[in-house]
Amino acid sequence: MSRDLPEVTAAVALLAEHGPAVPVMLLASVATLIATAGFHTRWSRRHGQAPPADDTGARPPTDERRAGRAEDDGGPARPAGAEESALWRMRTTVRDAPGSLAVLCAALADRRIDILSLQTHPLARGTVDEFLLRAPAGLTGSELAGVVTAAGGDHTWTERADAHDLVDAPTRVLALAARTALDAAELPLALRQLLGRCTIRSLPAAVGGAGDDVPPEGALEDTVLRLRAPEGGVISVERPYLPFTPAEFARARALVELDARLGPRVPRGRDSLTLPEGRDITVRRADTRDVAAAKAMHERCSPRTLGMRYHGPVGDADRYMNHLLSPRFGRTLAVQTASGRIVGLGHLLWDGDETEVALLVEDAWQRRGIGGELLGRLVAMATETGCASVYAVTQASNTGMVAAMRGLGLPLDYQIEEGTLVVTARLNPAPRTATAPVPHGERTGGE
């Protein structure tokens, strides 16, 4: 536990920055996240020594490093003639017996594959080992899995990685805890980054008695995690291509517990803007505490404006408010006047693996650039979270929404059916430093 003290100290600082209202008991949640995410170095457990420190760098081993000689500059430059390499994430199940991991590591070394990091996920029988590897560029995922299978690995899964995966697990988990502590809407995104590519759905308690069949501690069902949502209902996480381990289940549960203890929260920042006509407005984040003001805005909107937004009976709009403004389902931006009246709402909604954008601007405030301002900010948020695209569902006659989407300056796809128009914008995510991941990775071995 002593080696986890720096991370715990960082967690204490994080919670202190969040404000004096944060309960001291939150330390338990963060400490659990750190403990379950730490590297359980099997070398030290099985062989009595940790892997050499210089084997955890971000560059392939050179002859000098293999010989134990220090490099003069210590920089990341690759020596002339060194082969090209690629990063891989790999999981495999290994018998929990002395020497089993050594055989696997030796097989990787024979193929000039460098182990950059290793985590273990203990199971009832055997252990799931998760590696970050640097391999020769010509090696395919199937070939890598074949090497591991021949060395005793089973249920092997491989996926291309990039430089972002070089961050160690405690550091990554603390960053996710910090994001969740500052913004309740970050929980679904934090779970996705914690567990990899997965589909996250929130089912309210009012829908079919959601949560009645989920125990308080949650449920782990192979490729599905189900956890009690802090506000009631259930958070369901599905990853069909790779079963969850008990360690991952514990991490997810600790992150949800942290969110529940912190309660409702959104970033407090707000931006003041001056419209072309000279009137000032404020753009800020909104949540369920703004339901009453949002409903009041709906009452001032015309049936046509509401019909363009909700594509259904306008009298049902009030029923959508708690869902739309809940941070569990996405992020909401509100535009308010100097008097505090909300005159516009923009929603960025997590829809499984996709992301929807939606706008509503009060009639008297339309055609002043408010919709375009909201849409630009929502798309920027989507880009920051790594979304590949966003889509808007509207009526074909809604020229204002179409113009706002075109104003983004992004590639657009249009689909129209029976008067309903779906406009999808392909985003430009921040450049990544390595090859894009292979979809869902590759799995070999028994089921």
Q: How far is it, in rounded angstroms, from Cα 402 to Cα 394? A: 9
Q: Is the pLDDT of residue 37 over 70?
A: no
CA-wise closest residue to 424 among 380, 379, 386: 379
Digit-coded pLDDT (tens) for 396-424? 888 889 999 999 999 999 998 877 899 99
| Residues 256/187, Cβ–Cβ less than 8 Å | yes
Q: Is the pLDDT of residue 87 over 90?
A: yes
Hey, is 299 helix, strand or coil?
helix
Digit-coded pLDDT (tens) for 50-70? 333 333 333 333 333 333 333
Digit-coded pLDDT (tens) for 95-104? 888 888 899 9
DSSP 8-state assignment for residue 144: H
Q: How far is it, in rounded angstroms, from Cα 94 to Cα 131? A: 12
What's the distance, CA 276 to chain centroid?
37
| Residues 133/88, Cβ–Cβ less than 8 Å | yes
Alpha helices in 244-343 (DSSP H): 246-262, 291-300, 303-310, 317-325
Q: What is the pTM of this model?
A: 0.61
> What crossing angle do the helices spanning 246-262 and 26-37 adopt, rounded to 10°?
160
